[in-house]
Each structure stands twice: as structure tokens, then as C-alpha cells.
Amino acid sequence: MDTFVIQGRKPLTGEIEARGAKNAAFPLLAATILTTEDCVISNLPLIEDVYRSIEILQSMGATIEWLGERTVRVNTKDLNPATLNRDLMLKLRGSVLFAGPLLARFGKVFMPQPGGDAIGARSINTHTDALSQLGVVSTPSAAGVEMVFPGQLKGQEVVLGEFSVTGTENLLLFASVFAGPITIKIADQDYQVQELMHVLSAMGVALITPQPHTIVIKGKGELHGFTHTLMYDPIEAGTLLVLGAAVGGNVTVKNVEIRFLDLFLKKLRDSNVLFEILRDENGMGDIRVFPSPHMKIEKIQSWTYPGVASDLQSCLGVLATQTPGPTLLHDPLYEGRLKYLEELVKMGADIEFLDPHRALIKGPVKLHGADLVTPDLRGGAALIIAALIAEGTSTISNIYQVDRGYEKIEERLQKLGADITRVMS
């Protein structure tokens, strides 16, 4: 497996762009199943999880044509779910989103337990429970779950058992072919969900949000194809902003989806991170981060939208090692999300683990290079930041996890002046 070798304490300066939103790409690719017409998606990030999603579609007979470096045309007219590659489904969490559209179109699907990050218990029970409220019958087995829709809606209201991004998206995808109206309560409304709603509207679906976390959907039997430019990734942008603050350079992050980072940016400002919004056009722009000698973070708590995303907690944890502590770190969503902290301890971080969801980070400390193992996608990005601010040389293994979500990150960081090299296995 490839590794990163990083020599820390190098000054970073310059511009770096956020790429297309990884987690918003999955539901759009899944939405192509709902129509027999062509669908064109541009601004796709060139990452492993997107490639796997496209390969899953191809395994069922979808026609895929790359129209440019980041633009793909998908046609699922001849789709055959019987040929679905189950091994590919096991490689990424986003594969669960194929359940909704396959049920809507074919009435039956077998879903193996989807893969992805090892950040805690992430069963698909929320999905099966929600779909059952509309009449879908799920039969679990050791290999996965068989889902069958008899053809008649049982109800027209669903109450999700928890705020679930993918659970909300699966319901939207499934409900899009029914005249409805179908009401989804306790719906997540993060950027991925909003992006999917834009696309479904373009396909002919009527959607309204009468109150927070409630979506009413009126679909129809035959949906149009769509042409859509994928939004930029607010999680990647947030990660790069924290990187700029941690290394103390002068870094400009371009293509920042500011509209989805309101609380995150407030937390940075409250923590005395110095930054300037250079451009803000309808909630999307560029932000420059300056050296910030008086940073102090009292508490980092992640939560569902519009809270600070759990996906940004890891990089903020690294930043906390460089500020006067203690800093309370609390991730109530995933009990495995704090595994990266064990790797920071190898680098000299002073961390007290309170329970699987909470830790105290006592800083500031000088991190030193170490041999590190990437625990998950976001933890891998955090370790890269830690290695860039550490004294000496660090090696990071299991970087496939990073490649799943960050496009050619080493090449982009090299342009800022980072001493980071990919060593091929």
C-alpha cells in the first residue's frame, strides 16, 4: 500500500482549490437510475469513492462516457440490478444510496452491508425502518438485506429514527417516482441533501420544506434527465482552512462554500484564527488564512447540520494541540471518530480520553514525526496536517483512505511548499 512521507515545519504559502463535493456526488450518481434519459454531471472530484460509484453503475449495465476531465454522462436505460457487483458495494458507505432508486425502479434490491470508514456503528437500520413506513419489506441476513417493495405505498409520512444524511437521501430517491405527496420528518438538510433536491427538481420532482427538517415531495412516474455542475466540497474547504491556520502560513483557499460553513467559520473566528473573506458571491468564494499567534479553542463539538460537521472535527482536534488548553473534544455522532487521536499521541500530543465520544486535548505541544496509520478518511487528512506542523519526518500508511476523498492531495500541497511525497508500494 502507498504511504506518504512528510517532512514537517516547512512554510506554506499560496492558493489551493477545493474540488467537487464528494458526499454530494454519490446521490447524484444514484439519481441517474431514476430516468432512462442521459444525465450529465460536471465538476466531479477525481477520487476513489467516485470511481467506485461509477463502477457500480457500470456493473449493472449503465453506459458511462467521460466528456471531459471532470464531466461524465450516464445513461441507465439498460440497467440490470441482477448484475450488481456486491464486492464494490462493500468498498464505500455511499453505496447504500443505490437502494432507494433501485427499489423505485425495479421493486427489489439486495444490499450488502456498505463499506467506508470504520468510525463507529453505521448500520442501515435507519434506512430500512424509514422505507418500511412506505411499505418496503426488508429481510436481513448475514450477507446483507433484501428489500422488496410490493408496489403499493403503505403510508405518506415517514419519521426518520435519527438525523441521517443518507437516510434522507434514500427516501428522496425512492419517493421521487410517486405522485405523493410524501412527507419526510426529522430530515437532514445538509449540503448533500440540498444538492440532491436541486437535481430532483430539475428531473421534474416537486419539493418543498414547510418547516425545518421537514420535506414534502411530489414525484412522478417518468423523470427527465439532468445536466448539473456539482457544488464544491465544504468539508475539504474547511479542512484546508484549518491546515492554513495550523501551519501558520499565508494560505488562500478557493471555491469555499461559505453558505454551508457559517458556524464553522464563527468558531474559527471565536478561536482567534485570523482570516479574510476575499470573495463571497451568493455564499461561495475565497478565504485567506493568516498566521494566528493567539489561537485558543475551548470546546469542539460536532453535530448535524447546521452544526459543525463531524467530518471537520478531526482537523480541529489537530489544531487544538497547538493552542493553550485544555480543549474539550466531543463527537456525539460516531464512537470511532476519535481514533486518530491515538496517532497524535505517538507524535507527543497530550490527550486524555474520557470515553469513546470525548477527549481533553492539552496544549500547546510540539509534535514530532512518527510512523502513523490512517484510521479513516477524515482522520487521514488530520494526520497530514499534524505531520506538516511536526518536527522531523512522518510516514503515513493506509493512505487509500485519504485517496477516497481528497484528490491528489500531495500534489496540491506541494504547490504550497509542503515537503510531502507519495511512496508507491
Spatial strand order of the sheet with 214-218 comes to: 157-159, 182-185, 214-218, 206-211
Of 49, 117, 190, 331, catalytic: 117
Q: Dihedral sign, CA of 156, 159, 163, 166? A: negative
Q: In what order do the strands lie in the sheet with 419-423?
A: 371-373, 393-397, 3-7, 419-423
**Residue 117 among the catalytic residues:** yes
User: Is 358 in contact with 328 (CB distance < 8 Å)?
Assistant: yes
Cα separation of 408 and 422, whole Å? 10
Three cell numbers, residue 137: 419489506
Q: Show the cell assigned to 86.
A: 456486491
Rounded CA-CA distance 378/242 in Å is 13
d(CA 382, CA 406): 12
- Rounded distance between C-alpha atoms, residue 412 and residue 12, angstroms: 12
CA gyration radius for the chain?
A: 22
Q: How far apart are the first and last CA of the chain?
A: 5
**Separation CA 159–CA 221 (nearest Å):** 24
Strand partners, 288: 252, 276
Beta strands of 29-168 (E only): which ranges? 39-42, 63-66, 72-75, 108-112, 137-140, 144-148, 157-159
Q: Which run of H or E residues covers position 210?
A: strand 206-211
CA distance 100 to 110: 11
Residue 181's contacts (CB-CB under 8 Å, 6 or more residues apart) are 156, 216, 217, 218
Contact 344, 316 (CB under 8 A): no
Determine the longest span between alpha carbons in the chain, in angstroms: 63
- Count how many residues are written for the chain: 425
d(CA 25, CA 298): 34
Cell of 406: 481528497
Instruction: Supply the residues annotated as catalytic.
Output: 117
